[in-house]
Structure 1
């Protein structure tokens, strides 16, 4: 644990609410982005993040300083996300075969929704992130968490096993299985990974809008300043199937969450 964060945690555990707020600021984005990768839907990730942060601040006294604090936070977060029920995101869960059919359906060489280059750029990015994040939903929740921790967040099997409270050997087995499924799908379907595949993000824009999977007036993932699609071709050292995910930018935690957590901190004696 870096000295700054350790001091903040120690002060927070001694009752310093300002330090507790700073601890939350340090970890909020990692919690939100993990929730987003596991739950897909930003609105649900927002609710989960708030619940996880409350669990962190109310159980902070149980942190024993023997591990990295952020590793402990990830463990709290994974425990919540793997047991969280009634997920709206389950609507998007499907088998790899079903997802394959969705990918192959209704590809169009012409985008009818708009010809504006700026809009097209954003919509193409929205499709890319939505599609690849949606693919993770084809994995069961534990395998998905293992894949996210290892391939996207780059935890090794020892740290990943600690977070999930399993053996490193079991972690590696689950990772191998998840990695093979994702790699096989992307190699056979995704045009970003294999240029011989016919699918292109732009070809799915009209279909996903018509299916209400993407709302062009309220984009969930696309950012005006960054296009992860453009970064993939620049990454030479990563396997393409990994770069599809690692190029996705981290998203800022909605400010509304921080305001609610601040209310909790100031209203309750810890």
Structure 2
């Protein structure tokens, strides 16, 4: 039985502009969240999301209904993102060793930047999400994608291998390799993952502000949700390295992306 989204796709392929508009509205957040996790920076994620949406729309007639439509969308997005090099993402990406040095540098027991409790709470969340999402850039693009699909977005190996268009066995091997790298790093460096580690998000605020990695006037992650840093302890059934990522709520794609798509493809 076809779901509502697939019915909309059929109508869109028959020339129904309103149905096409609804398809875009339904999938834009999926694509944006995947792009943001792959690329870290919202500017890069917005550019990628717009390009992926155009690819989906212009190739909509090739969807053959052999898989779920959302699975097909993720496949289109994945193929694009694995080779896409966002400007800011490319500049920030580094090896695990260099990232470890970044974690170890500039910790302070007091926060010079602000003493306002509300602002400090937001800055601590911004550091937590920026740091852990930035860690993903230490993985190569394929390993990063399989980690995001399985450990964060919770696709199983069958679904993930279908999206990546590789065998389930190969997919599981890549997940295992990526999982081990992220888990080992967090267990050795992150105080959220392992309380024995000295690093705490609030101790990195001043350093990351000074390095312009965190901009207090333009927070990228901390403004749209409850603090994910407070949710990590509540997700007791998960190992901490996974809980750190799954605690981050989904972001909504800016409506400017949708408006740009409408203008570019004359959907008005």
2:23 match: 23
Going from structure 1 to structure 2, the CA distance change for 1:121 and 1:64 (only over 3 Å counts) comes to same
Give 1:264 deviation, angstroms. Answer: 2.8
2:69 match: 69
1:175 match: 175
The normalised TM-score by structure 2 is: 0.97
CA deviations over 1:183-209 (Å, ceiling 9, x no partner) = 000011111111111100000000000
The normalised TM-score by structure 1 is: 0.97
Give 1:87 deviation, angstroms. Answer: 3.3
* 3-state SS of paired residue (2:199): coil
Q: Is residue 51 of structure 1 aligned with residue 51 of structure 2?
A: yes
CA distance, structure 2, for counterparts of residue 86 and residue 127 of structure 1: 21
Going from structure 1 to structure 2, the CA distance change for 1:224 and 1:73 (only over 3 Å counts) comes to closer
Task: Please say if residues 31 and 49 of structure 1, whose CA atoms lie closer than 8 Å, have aligned partners that are also in contact.
Answer: yes
* 3-state SS of paired residue (1:223): coil
Give 1:42 deviation, angstroms. Answer: 0.3
CA deviations over 1:12-63 (Å, ceiling 9, x no partner) = 0111010000001110001000000001110110010000001000000000
1:12 match: 12
Going from structure 1 to structure 2, the CA distance change for 1:36 and 1:224 (only over 3 Å counts) comes to closer
Task: Please say if residues 17 and 266 of structure 1, whose CA atoms lie closer than 8 Å, have aligned partners that are also in contact.
Answer: no
CA deviations over 1:206-261 (Å, ceiling 9, x no partner) = 00000010110001111264100011111111111000000001111011101011
* 3-state SS of paired residue (1:266): coil
CA deviations over 1:113-155 (Å, ceiling 9, x no partner) = 0000000000000000000000000000000000000000111
Give 1:86 deviation, angstroms. Answer: 5.5
CA distance, structure 2, for counterparts of residue 103 and residue 210 of structure 1: 14
The runs of at least 4 aligned residues of structure 1 exceeding 6 Å deviation read none
* 3-state SS of paired residue (1:88): helix
Going from structure 1 to structure 2, the CA distance change for 1:135 and 1:25 (only over 3 Å counts) comes to same
CA distance, structure 2, for counterparts of residue 110 and residue 128 of structure 1: 17
1:266 match: 266
Give 1:265 deviation, angstroms. Answer: 3.5
Task: Please say if residues 106 and 207 of structure 2, whose CA atoms lie closer than 8 Å, have aligned partners that are also in contact.
Answer: yes
